[in-house]
A and B are shown apart, each in its own frame.
Chain A
Amino acid sequence: MEFSWPLLRQLTGDDRTARGPAARSARTEAWRARTATADRVVKSVCPFCAVGCAQNVYVREEKVVQIEGDPDSPISRGRLCPKGAASLQLTTGFSRQRRALYRPPGAADWQRIDLATAMDLIADRIIATRRETWQWEQDGLRTARTMGIASLGGATLDNEENYLIKKLLTALGVVQIENQARVCHSSTVVGLGTSFGRGGATTFMQDMQHSDCIVIQGSNFAEAHPVGFQWVMEAKARGAVIIHVDPRFTRTSAPADLHVPIRAGSDVAFLGAIINHVLENELYFHEYVLNYTNAATILREDYRDTEDLDGVFSGFDPESRTYDPDSWQYEGMTTVAASGERNAEYERRLGKVPPGRGEVQGGTGVPLDGHPQRDETLRHPRCVLQVLRRHFARYTPETVERVCGVPRRLFEEVCRHLTENSGPEKTSEFVYAVGWTQHSDGSQFIRAASILQLLLGNIGRPGGGIQALRGHASIQGSSDVPTLFNLLPGYIPMPHAHENERLRDFLSADAPHKGCWADMPAYLVSLLKAWWGESAQPDNDYRFGWLPRLTGSHSTYDTVLAQLDGVCKGYLLLGENPAVGSANARMQRLGMARLDWLVVRDLNLIESATWWKDGPEIETGELRTADIGTEVFFLHAACHTEKSGSFTNTNRLLQWHHQAVEPEDDARSDLWFMYHLGRIIREKLAGSQDPMDAPVLGLTWDYPVGGELAEPSAEAVLAEINGWDGEGRPLPGYHALKDDGSTACGCWIYSGVYADGVNQAARRRPAAEQDWIAAEWAWAWPANRRILYNRASARPDGTPWSERKRLVWWDAEAERWTGHDVPDFESGKSPGYRPPPDAQGSAALSGIDPFIMQADGKGWLFAPAGVVDGPLPTHYEPQDSPVANPLYGRQCNPARKVYPHEDNRYQPSGDEPGASVYPYVVTTYRLTEHFTAGGMSRFTPYLAELQPEMFCEVSPSLAAERALVHGDWATIVTARNAIEARVMVTDRIPSLHLDGRVVHQIGLPFHFGPNGLAKGDAANELAAISLDPNAHIQEVKALSADIRPGRRPRGPALPELVRSYQRRAGVGAGTGTEA
């Protein structure tokens, strides 16, 4: 008998000491897990990084009560990192700003505003600014656009939201559309795209377990992507060698077999030396290299290498600081410009390759025409392999010691592991992230790894490849769909302004092409049909003329200058925080202070929303709140549990997250915001006969809405992205697209995601029921392939290289390719197929051409086109560097983009006088506990308490040299700004010995800012805007600075400190701007 009184239970039961069952209280008896009592479990995806961990969202009485990992996911297996684990607090915590806020011009504080009123005012502002700044032409060329409005953000949003942003703003004539992809991984798209044909990671997370050696370089994998790192640990448990090459010993180095400390920004020298080692010792995978790369292709006679010209390639024009890439071509083959016949005047101004064109290769490869000549013996002095050999000859182990500060013994260790673990039986994988991308020659860092992996035969094979780790939930999607100025969905280039540019000129439809480029007309016409529907007809060029035109670079950094110049007057920030997250953060705020209006949509009151009242320039007196005329709207964004949509993870996988609950108060999805903004604008413009309004009035903008909030259907948007035929039936894939206007498709590479009218991205067949490929979990572009270029996993004759590394092979009996993964090859094209001389499109590629997006079907060791700053990676010093380039007479990438401006001063470098004023190398990085610019972590108590304050990491020897005290404060100064940070003296950031000198490095996490719970100065205050010319990505992973003990000065003394350093170093307008 059970009694309710504990004493009776104690006396009558077994538990005589009353320390067990007898002691149970009534509450304990009634204690149930809220996961067990939830009304429903909603399937979702983590909103932080791009690993794409699946989440189960538990809902009770229409409230989210718990969020945890979904064990069914083949990627995350139910696990979450601290950020993912804090999703409940992120989405339901008290920090979210739940009401719309309004700051009138000059006002000292926010006031509440009704959401409908705010939407109406924003629509009015957009219409007015657009009218005021509309530009039909520039320099006599039709532009049909406004430079008065810009938007930034999208990588934290759903693909469907990105799609509506791009669609509406483009129709409004806005070209300055950008997102985090620009500042994080744009150089990835260039580097991987030109090498292999597509700009995404070549492999997927789970496949890392099959690797025999994993080299993590330019990435703090374990800290920035902890759940993905489980697959590295899995590989390690299976005996793989794990190598971490990084300036710091991080949480990634801790479990690695080998940590190689390297000077930040010197990776090309390191990788170049491995390439040299592989070539000189004949360690490359001969059969793979000969058949699958362009090693045998012969280059033109007029090509000159950096070896000949002391650090520049042939074709360089020092005045425009651009290359004419013609001499880099294959003998007998020429590049065909994707934009058709080009305007000579235009080329003179902007260079042969239009700005922003580099990323186009992310989807389509580089178009080429003609037949290249080859030397199958690889001995011809102008064949790529021999050119490579010559180019990298000076990249020796001694070079690595002198440039990177890596001892020869360590370097040789890396070479040994890599080469021993590559070949028919073994594969090695490279993993990188923004440690490689964020340099003034970032695309070339990725090119260097691509060359090495091709030489070792590691692309397209299990356990091999290059894993690009992206850092936002949908940053791959915001590149693909995209919200980038230079691209249309699916990496179709945005048109530049030209004389008489018609659709057929743009497509060069009458010029024969090889590879996938040949189908571009179908992709573009289908896109125009998706946007302008019935209005898009053959006789009006499918409304191609309604697309606004580019006239140069309109990247987010160009936008900042346009704001300072008063050209850009309105700014939409959609889940991005440039006041902390972009280079030269102060300049970002100064730009915003010149705006007429600013709309910030976010979960929390981030720095980019509040700089006008409490930003650093208010404290220094550089800005006065009352003088700032910017009208600011803060709109509360819905979080991932409050809306449905898809994220594209770092491995091109589209995963659908379902709405769990309705957003509360003024929170709305960005899908809602863009859709209703478009609706209101269209209502206000209805009946307008002004031709500038035609594109927006002609837009297909009739998405079904539902619920009390009139939320547009994300699935309807996904269906448009997938595309349909003339009868409205969903398309099965991009092969079904037509160039005759009979199909519509919002993003050709995503076509197939809604095949059969089924949301393929929402598929969730548990991992336990599938093999490691897990093809029925969500949907990957292209065509649900998980390992790209997987034809290369088989020998030229179609049989696997080895049993151990079997993936895709030719089934001779069935006469088709088959295997574990979806073959990334025409399924019926036999290994013996050789194209007839007049073949076009895919038919022009042979049965041994695994890189099907490339015009020649080969992996590009040498890039004859597509990379604007050189066909081969070359070591250049970062823009600001205390080290003189020991390899060439050129200090920096001669083609890099610099923005001389009084708020963006560069520093003397190397042997220049004044360089010693900024003597230390600075690198920035992420911490596990925080997320990007902090908007989703610094306001979340459970994350903020784990890393509550900005700090700097210095070595004991630097601390001694500068009298820095552990736990105390230090001030770090560059020519842009000065910040303070708590000092962490640690052996984890070793000082390096190179060329007889000691180089100290300073590590700075970049998450912090003045708002939120975890606080501190932003590392990006220190960085200059100096960009990679291909991708317009900023150099923040390597710069130079001084460090001194104590806190930074307050008030006007802060800019005075910065100026005093500038004076001492002799910093002027021309400093550091030489080609």
Chain B
Amino acid sequence: MAFDLDERLGEGRVGFFTDTSICIGCKACEVACKEWNQVPEDGLNFTGMSYDNTVGLGADTWRHVAFIEQRRPLGHQEPGVGDMDFRWLMASDVCKHCTHAACLDVCPTGSLFRTEYGTVVVQQDICNGCGYCVPACPFGVIGKRESSGTAAKCTMCYDRLGAGQEPACAKTCPTDSIQFGDLDELRERAERRLAQVREAGLTSARLYGHDPGDGVGGTGAFFLLLDEPEVYGLPPDPVVTTRDLPSMWRHVGVAALALLVGLSATAWRRRG
């Protein structure tokens, strides 16, 4: 049931293609996002996790840049650090705006909705802070903001899209690591870029979230990664947490029917 609507996604659907192979970890996306969306500061904590003091996505962080230091070579890059293979991966994470969005499925108030751009947005004036969406997200993106008591996450700058402007993070990105546009076009671009990057020797490169056949039906924000998704803190095989809802309802229906049939049979026998 729930997926009928989602499967009509496509026309006019927009998205992000985040090409982490050209990310320089500047975090402009984090700041531009916060400035535009007036997202509160998220804690002043030194984490020691390389240059990542943001830690992860949540109600008060809608773009998050991960930093991964690895003793592995970066494709054709010459090993430099003390004659040791080394690479420093950076990647800007964001809400995936899933084709099959569990947050949207579980929202009981209609606060979360699918926009005309195919994105998923929380409406702050509707949200009652029930928090069902928080555990529903297979990526751990959405969170509940303490100050307002409501759920919050990336809107893909819904208001900017309405004004014909690209999202703040994509606009500010100095190296164009974050690209915004028509999702189908981005997917084609990503395939071409992947081939190019692999040819350059980055054989571990892969796309993540681009496949409509994956557990969330493909994501509206997808990535070119240089390593396994787990390395970046992404689930390797995300599945919409409401995947089994339709079958559960079917099973409930069958069970109810069976019960009804049984009850009827019993009643009929008694009469008989």
Q: Give residues in A with beta carbon < 8 Å to B.
A: 6, 15, 17-28, 31-36, 66-69, 78-86, 88-89, 222-223, 226-227, 229-230, 233, 244, 249, 251-261, 407, 410, 413, 927-929, 941-949, 951, 955, 966-967, 982-984, 986-988, 990-992, 1013-1014
Contacts and interface: CB of A to CB of B under 8 A. Distances in A.
Contacts of B21: 255
Given A68-B32, A259-B81, A991-B82, A79 B173 contact: yes
Contact of B80 (A27, A249, A986): A249
B154 interface: no
B249 interface: no
Contacts, number: 231
Given A33-B163, A990-B84, A410 B78 contact: yes
Contacts of B168: 68, 85
Nearest to A26: B125
Contacts of B1: 17
From DSSP, what is the main secondary structure of chain A's interface residues? loop
Contacts of B34: 942
B110 A23 contact: yes
Given A85-B28, A946-B30, A251 B81 contact: no
Contact of B44 (A20, A84, A260, A948): A948
B160 interface: yes
Interface string B52-85: 0110000000000000010100101110111110
27 contacts: A6-B110, A19-B2, A19-B112, A21-B116, A23-B110, A23-B111, A28-B121, A32-B163, A79-B28, A81-B26, A85-B168, A88-B35, A223-B24, A226-B175, A230-B175, A257-B77, A257-B78, A258-B77, A261-B81, A407-B83, A967-B48, A982-B46, A982-B48, A986-B50, A987-B82, A990-B84, A1013-B44
Interface string B152-172: 000001111011010010011
A924 B45 CA distance: 22
Nearest to A413: B78
B192 to A, nearest CB: 13
B259 to A, nearest CB: 27
Nearest to B71: A987
A987 B35 contact: no
Given A222-B26, A254-B90, 6 more contacts: A26-B125, A27-B124, A79-B172, A226-B174, A251-B25, A991-B82
Contacts of B146: none
B98 interface: no
Nearest to A10: B110
Given A949-B46, A991-B82, A69 B24 contact: no
Interface string B12-41: 000000000110111110111011100001
A1014 B53 CA distance: 12
B176 interface: yes
A68 B48 contact: no
User: Nearest 9 A-B pairs (CB), nearest first?
Assistant: A259-B80, A990-B82, A36-B163, A967-B48, A23-B110, A33-B163, A941-B41, A23-B113, A948-B44
B213 interface: no
B88 A988 contact: yes
In this complex, the member of B4, B31, B123, B126 whose beta carbon has the largest number of chain A beta carbons within 10 angstroms is: B31
B43 interface: yes
A945 B24 contact: no
B144 interface: no
Contact of A986 (B54, B69, B76, B114): B69
Contact of A947 (B53, B81, B110, B163): B53
A944 B46 CA distance: 11
Interface residues of B, number: 73
Nearest to B33: A85
A990 B81 contact: yes
Contacts of A15: 5
B69 A945 contact: no
B87 interface: yes
A987 B172 contact: no
Contacts of A83: 31
A258 B87 CA distance: 11
Nearest to A51: B174
A82 B34 CA distance: 10
A252 B158 CA distance: 33
Nearest to B65: A946
B22 A233 contact: yes
Contacts of A31: 158-159, 162
B48 A85 contact: no
A987 B84 contact: yes
A85 B176 contact: no
B28 A82 contact: yes
Nearest to B45: A948
A38 to B, nearest CB: 10
A32 B163 CA distance: 7
Contact of A82 (B30, B105, B126, B175): B30
Nearest to A7: B110
Contacts of B41: 941-942, 944-945
A35 B160 contact: yes
Given A253-B88, A942-B34, A259 B78 contact: yes
